[in-house]
Amino acid sequence: MRIVALAGGIGGARFLRGLKAAVAPGDEITVIGNTGDDIHLYGLKVCPDLDTVMYTLGGGIHEEQGWGRADETWSIKAEMKEYGIGPEWFGLGDRDFATHLVRSQMLTADYSLSQVTEALCVRWKPGVRLLPMSDDRVETHVKITDEAGTRAVHFQEYWVKLHAALDAEAIIPVGADTAKPAPGVLDAIASADVILFPPSNPVVSIGTILAVPGIREAVAAADAPVIGLSPIIGGAPVRGMADKVLAAVGVETTAAAVARHYGRKGAPGDGGRGVGLLDGWLVDTADADAVADVEADGITCRAIPLLMTDVEATAAMARAALELAEQVRR
Ligand code: GDP
Ligand code: CA
């Protein structure tokens, strides 16, 4: 079986670890990773979501934090601070720095981000084929208003520096409109047996991947069933700022509203911006009353425990998603 999953950082990576434990030997998993969170710091290209997937699946992640390397040290950052060079708010540890150095060195030598990602994965052996959504630069910006007025800041500044304390007035994936899907992305979607949307952020992770021209259309046109898992439980994100960025695109923070935002496959969806994508949707048991609501929109829906407390609980979620895919397969 060929499984394709779109993924952001922590929510995507944790789900993928469960998915790997749930699939049969011989099944192939292709991950299309969000690169809209990428940021250039100290002349280096940092790809937080790709790295979170790579470190989590490769056994190098800082487990409690969910991002960055285990057993990290911070000498470079301290030295930079002595030079008065920031940003202080973004955590890049010494071990992590090595990844960004390798990546940036290869990009400078004209390798594409896909080639770099493949090279980094030679070390990490994530057990999945990890593809960036695009080799072209895409950067999510967030429109905010504060004492300084209205302006757009980099997504990392909004989330890591400002802690998403201000309302997000708009989400702008700068560069997405002219970006091309990375090599292999459209083929993987077209030849998939199942397409999964992990419980990643529907706006700044999955939404950004879908904003690359051709990707949304490929998912909508794919023969494979498309199954999503809600990142929203009981009207709130499990962690992160999904509520803020959902509000920015006019979507309520509920499991049912996120399903409607993705839309039923084949139907007009996503607030009229595109076509609908979902055949099936999993909500948490706390949202069991949303099932009828989602099914009324033509999306097959089940309520199961959706907290990724450990790998076994997460594997059960992945198995439920694969079972639902069989039930809705045309
Ligand atoms: P990020 O790039 O690190 O923000 O990660 P993602 O976009 O992949 O995932 C963020 C989303 O994961 C958030 O909206 C969370 O609500 C969701 N999430 C995190 N942990 C869990 C969990 O245990 N269960 C579910 N259902 N969602 C989760
Ligand atoms: Ca992210």
Does residue 87 have a cis bond before it (omega within 30 degrees)? yes
Instruction: Give 147 Cα–ligand 1 centroid separation in angstroms.
Output: 31
Instruction: Please indicate, yes or no, if residue 232 is contained in any of the structural domains.
Output: yes
276-290 burial, b at 16+ Cβ within 10 Å, e below that, comes to: bbbbbbbbbeebeeb
Burial (CB < 10 A; 0-12, 13-18, 19+), residue 43, is exposed
Instruction: Give 13 Cα–ligand 1 centroid separation in angstroms.
Output: 9
Instruction: Please indicate, yes or no, if residue 192 is contained in any of the structural domains.
Output: yes
Per-residue pLDDT tens, the chain, 330 aa: give them. Answer: 999 999 999 999 999 999 999 999 999 999 999 999 999 999 999 999 999 999 999 999 999 999 999 999 999 999 999 999 999 999 999 999 999 999 999 999 999 999 999 999 999 999 999 999 999 999 999 999 999 899 999 999 999 999 999 999 999 999 999 999 999 999 999 999 999 999 999 999 999 999 999 999 999 999 999 999 999 999 999 999 999 999 999 999 999 999 999 999 987 765 555 689 999 999 999 999 999 999 999 999 999 999 999 999 999 999 999 999 999 997
pLDDT at residue 294, rounded to an integer: 98
pLDDT at residue 85, rounded to an integer: 95
Ligand nearest to the CA of 48: 2
Q: Whose CA is nearest to atom 12 of ligand 1?
A: 11
Instruction: Give 327 Cα–ligand 2 centroid separation in angstroms.
Output: 31
Instruction: Please indicate, yes or no, if residue 164 is contained in any of the structural domains.
Output: no
What span, in angstroms and rounded, lies between the C-alpha atoms of 52 and 29? Answer: 17
For 138, phi and psi rounded to 5 degrees? -130, 135
Q: Would the pTM count as exceeding 0.95?
A: yes
Q: What angle do CA 137, 198, 280 make, to 5 degrees?
A: 120
Tokens of residue 212, six digits? 């690359």
Ligand nearest to the CA of 244: 1
The answer to whether residues 30 and 5 touch, using CB atoms and an 8 Å cutoff, is: yes
Instruction: Please indicate, yes or no, if residue 160 is contained in any of the structural domains.
Output: no
The answer to whether residues 304 and 284 touch, using CB atoms and an 8 Å cutoff, is: yes
Pocket of ligand 1 (CB under 6 A): 7-12, 49, 199-201, 205, 230-231, 233, 237-240, 242, 306-308
The CATH code of the domain that includes 288 is 3.40.50.10680
Structural domain span for residue 240: 2-39+127-135+177-329
pLDDT at residue 273, rounded to an integer: 57
Instruction: Please indicate, yes or no, if residue 276 is contained in any of the structural domains.
Output: yes
In angstroms, what CA-CA distances link 305 with 234, 280, 312, 314?
A: 12, 16, 12, 9
Instruction: Please indicate, yes or no, if residue 191 is contained in any of the structural domains.
Output: yes
Domain count, the chain: 1
Instruction: Please indicate, yes or no, if residue 189 is contained in any of the structural domains.
Output: yes
Q: Whose CA is nearest to atom 4 of ligand 1?
A: 9
213-249 burial, b at 16+ Cβ within 10 Å, e below that, comes to: eebbebbbebebbbbbbbbbbeeebbebbbbbbbbbb
Atom number, ligand 1, closest to the C-alpha of residue 7: 8
Atom number, ligand 1, closest to the C-alpha of residue 66: 3
Three-state DSSP state, 239:
coil
Could you tell which of 6, 62, 155, 200 is best to mutate to test the pocket of ligand 1, judged by most ligand atoms within 8 Å of the CB?
A: 200
Instruction: Give 105 Cα–ligand 2 centroid separation in angstroms.
Output: 23
Contacts of 78 (CB under 8 A, 6+ apart): none
Instruction: Please indicate, yes or no, if residue 48 is contained in any of the structural domains.
Output: no
